[in-house]
Amino acid sequence: MGHFPRILSHSRRLIASALVSGGYGGGRGRFTGLASGYGWRSRFGGRNGVRLLVAAGTMLCMDTSSTPPESRRAARRSLEALALGDAFGERWFPLFRFREGLVPDKAYEDVRARRLPDGPVWHWTDDTAMALALHLVLTQHGHVDQDRLAACFALTFDADQGRGYGHGMHVLLPELLVHPGDWRTLAPTLFEGGSLGNGAAMRVAPLGAWFAYDLELASAQAQLSAEVTHAHPQGVAGAVAVAVAAALSVRGELTLAEVAARTPAGPVRDGLLKAAALPFTTEPWKAADLLGNGQHIRADDTVPFAVWTAARHPASLEDALWATAEGFGDVDTTCAITGGIVGARVGVEGMPGEWLERREGLG
């Protein structure tokens, strides 16, 4: 067991700071430090209640006072828009399930007519839950501390496992709840070589916005954030591509060609190059047919289309999300990625009030 105590179901002493699922306060926490091990307790409300993870001991974090204020604002804009896209897409997801290869006609017609999905509350999914954890680590440390990020991911999962996490996270994150540092050996064993799924990409846009002032740094930090759960090079590449896209969006410089140029070689980059050659006059459903829509849950099947719709509508979050929804597939994730990229620049202030009222809060 090393330095890390077993976790008892009714006795969890704290590790990470105010992490919230369904109400995110973004407060500062306190860490005991890795050398002495982690211990924690938790106090959770219902599905929409605040889950506080209040850390004990002395927090070890870098001074974040040098982080440009605009970086913090851009990251928060991105986070809010990512959550809105995620919750919007999640409402459509059950309607887009394929049956005999066909999408239900009503769902398609509703999207094309821009009729909002039913439901008084739009709940967000694991996409937002993990983005909140990543944003918390950046807020506290100013950079990606991989062990603390692993711990925050595990605690977030433990707080509410019903957010739609994929199979790999159900395997990995309970282990990291006990031994956060074991991501180094466990993540590469998922799916025989590490996950190449879209999970690292779906949560990373706020990080790209945070480091928009330095594209190389944004890329490097995105890689660190991905490695904790997605060790396959293409899982990492998906995160790098989305982070770079969000950074370029903040700067008003988003192009598919530039994102592709800064993405590691492989299927994700190939898909981005294909997207760069696809005219924006193409109907989104057709673009999704050509680029993928996340149906296969891989980064290369998800990221190119989501970045394409973001680049197609760089100044309109609403238009970008409707266009992304037309692609069907893993629509909560594609909308989360697109939302995080476009929102890094424009935020959610211009969105219809009904959208913002329906989306589950972040605090």
pLDDT digits (tens, 9 = 90+) for 172-197: 999 999 999 999 999 999 988 899 99
Q: What is the pLDDT of residues 78-122, one digit of tens each?
A: 999 999 999 999 988 665 554 444 455 677 888 889 998 877 899
Q: Report d(CA 222, CA 216) in Å as an integer.
A: 10
CB 31 within 8 A of CB 60: yes
Helix (H) or strand (E) holding 51: strand 51-52
Say whether 351 sits in a helix, a strand or coil. Answer: coil
Check whether 37 has a pLDDT greater than 60.
no
User: What per-residue confidence (pLDDT) applies to 34?
Assistant: 31
User: What per-residue confidence (pLDDT) applies to 103?
Assistant: 52
Chain-centroid distance of CA 69 in Å reads 22
- Does the annotation flag 110 for ligand binding? no
User: What per-residue confidence (pLDDT) applies to 60?
Assistant: 40
Residue type, 110: D
Mean pLDDT across the chain: 83
Pick from 234, 242, 222: nearest CA to 81: 242
Q: Which pTM was predicted?
A: 0.83
Q: CA separation (Å) from 300 to 225, 244, 339? A: 18, 16, 18
- Does the annotation flag 330 for ligand binding? yes
Check whether 26 has a pLDDT greater than 50.
no
User: What per-residue confidence (pLDDT) applies to 107?
Assistant: 78
Check whether 146 has a pLDDT greater than 60.
yes
Q: Report d(CA 234, CA 348) in Å as an integer.
A: 30
Between 16 and 128, whose confidence is greater? 128
- Does the annotation flag 333 for ligand binding? yes
- Residues forming a β-bridge with 52: 43
Percent of the chain residues past pLDDT 90, beyond the cut: 72
Check whether 52 has a pLDDT greater than 60.
no
Q: What is the pLDDT of residues 270-279, one digit of tens each?
A: 999 999 999 9
Pick from 224, 237, 232: nearest CA to 264: 237
Q: How many CB atoms lie within 10 A of CB 214?
A: 12
